[in-house]
Structure formats: structure tokens, C-alpha cells
Amino acid sequence: MPEDILVDIRRDYVLSKLRDGERIDGRKLDEFRKIEIKTNVIEKAEGSALVKLGDTQVMVGIKMQPGEPYPDTPDRGVIITNAELVPLASPTFEPGPPDEGSIELARVVDRGIRESKAINLEKLCIEEGEKVWIIFIDIHALDDDGNLMDASALAAISALLTTTVPAEKFELGDDYPLPVRNLPVSVTSLLVGERILVDPTRDEMSVGNNFVTMITDQDDNFVGMQKSGTFLLSEEKFYELMDVSIEKARQIREILKDI
């Protein structure tokens, strides 16, 4: 059966279930899929995590090396976040340089880490104005069954939580754990008519790419937001999204605290 007919059938099914307030996989509207986090999966990386969000799988590896600081922050480490939507992870991903989808993914995840001040960058200065630690956060999608955003954000902070600064390798003293001091959590919702579906699957996304991502920190403050997709958002839904994002993030943060 051609792909576009399948998409139509899938959409109709998703919508007809939704009319009864149900999701096709039986979840509640504000329920995340099952979350599994494995850390330290790549020994050659300074930190790493494999996150499964239902069938969605994302691996994040952290590499660190000494490098030059930005001129305007001479005493702080540097974060560089990159995402590769490799064609292994989805029939719709193409090889080649990052497209707007992977750039947006990397930048939103980066914003959550950066704006929550999750990493104490002041502690990553080696020699002011000359040398600081560069942290490469590389997001590697493995299986895209929807909501790569939250899976990537979760894998990034999980990997950072288990990262060791490789000082010895560069003859800069003893290794030490990366100083992480906040736990930003991303919550992405799909808007379908008046409904808000948290953590949408690939099948649910057949109704449209109408997403809002909201990232909160451990004080329930917002550190990042991104509306993504061609749709209009009402003020009312905006406030509803803030509430649901705070609440779901709290639950997920509990899992992170066990790492």
C-alpha cells in the first residue's frame, strides 16, 4: 500500500480514538511512554547515555578537550551541541550535512542545558582567556518513533551526569566528575484541536507537526520554549502547556536523580 494512504489511515485512526479521549497506545493524554536510561555505554566517551522512550532510541556521547574560550567569556568552558539524524534511525532521514530539523533539535537541547546553567562552566576554566574545557554533546539518533526532542534532552543530561573531565589524558591533573548542578527536563506536546498529547509517537505525529517544547529546571522555572510547526497556538493552550510541562518534568526529574 502506498505510504500516503497509510498516513491517511493512521491519521483517521488517531483522530477517531481521540474523539473518545483515547490514544492509540492506550496512554493517558499526559502520559509519557516507558523511559529507560543506560549510562556509560561508550567507554571511549567521557560520558554517554542511551535513552529509550518507548521505541524511540537516542544515544548521546560527551567528548571533552582543552580549547580556546569565547572572547566574551574568557573564564568559562564551552558547550558545543550537535545532532545527527542519521538515515539508520528513520526512512525519512537523509545522509548529508545537518538539515533544519537536526539543527533545531541540537539548538533546543543546547538551550536547556545552557540556560538552566546545568554545567558549572566557571569550573571548566584551565587558564583564563587561553584555555578552557570544550564539551562536545553529540546527539546520535538510533530509532525515531516520535519525540526525538525529549529523548535527546534526557540522554544529554544523563550523559553529562556521568561525565568525567579527562584531565589526566591532557596532563592537567586528576580526573574529576563534570560539575552538574541542575536538571533541565524537556516536555514536548502535540496539539490536536483542543487536545494536548504529551510525548507523541510517530503514529500520532501523522496528524500534523504541531509541537510545543517546554524545558523547566529543578525550581520549576522555564529555561527554554520552542513552538515548532505550522499552526496557531491559543493563549489558553499556552497556559495549559506550562502547567502540564512543569508537572511532567517533575516526574521525569525523579528518574534522573537516580543516575
Partner 1 sequence: MEELKLIMDGKRLDGRGFDELRPIKIEVGVLKRADGSCYLEMGRNKVMAAVYGPREVHPKHLADPSKAIVRYRYNMAPFSVEERKRPGPDRRSVEISKVSREALETIIMTEMFPRSAVDIFVEILQADAGSRTACLNAASVALVDAGIPMKGIVTSVAVAKVDGQIVLDPMKEEDNYGEADMPFAFVIRNGKIESIALLQMDGNMTRDEVKQGLELAKKGAMEIYQLQREAIMKKYRTEEEEE
Rule CB under 8 A: choose which of 185, 224, 252, 256 binds partner 1.
224
Nearer to partner 1, 30 or 115 (CB): 115
Cα–Cα nearest to 77, from 163, 169, 151: 163
38 is written with which cell numbers? Answer: 543506560
Nearer to partner 1, 87 or 193 (CB): 87
Cα–Cα nearest to 202, from 252, 130, 148: 148
Nearer to partner 1, 98 or 179 (CB): 98
Beta bridge partners of 38: 50
Write down the least CB distance from residue 114 to partner 1, Å. Answer: 8
Q: What are phi and psi of 69, to 5 degrees?
A: -75, 165
CB 134 within 8 A of CB 80: yes
Q: Does 128 bind partner 1 (CB under 8 A)?
A: no
Rule CB under 8 A: choose which of 20, 235, 257, 258 binds partner 1.
235
Rule CB under 8 A: choose which of 98, 179, 247, 250 binds partner 1.
98
Q: Does 239 bind partner 1 (CB under 8 A)?
A: yes
Write down the least CB distance from residue 256 to partner 1, Å. Answer: 19
Measure CA 196 to chain center: 19
Nearer to partner 1, 59 or 185 (CB): 59
Q: Tell which phi-psi region holds residue 70, choosing left (phi > 0), alpha (psi between -120 and 50) or beta.
A: beta
Q: How many residues comprise the chain?
A: 259
Beta bridge partners of 53: 35, 56
Cα–Cα nearest to 150, from 9, 222, 234, 252: 252
Is 115 strand, coil or helix?
Answer: helix
Q: Does 217 bind partner 1 (CB under 8 A)?
A: yes
Cα–Cα nearest to 153, from 104, 197, 92: 104
Size of the site for partner 1 (CB under 8 A): 64
Rule CB under 8 A: choose which of 7, 88, 130, 181 binds partner 1.
88
Q: Does 82 bind partner 1 (CB under 8 A)?
A: yes
Candidates 13-21, 30-38, 150-158, 238-246: pick the segment binding partner 1 (CB under 8 A).
238-246
183 is written with which cell numbers? Answer: 536538571
Binding site for partner 1 (CB under 8 A): 41-45, 48, 55, 57, 59, 61-63, 65, 82, 84, 86-91, 95, 97-98, 100, 103-104, 106-107, 111, 114-116, 136, 138, 140, 142-145, 202, 212, 217, 220-235, 238-239, 242-243, 246
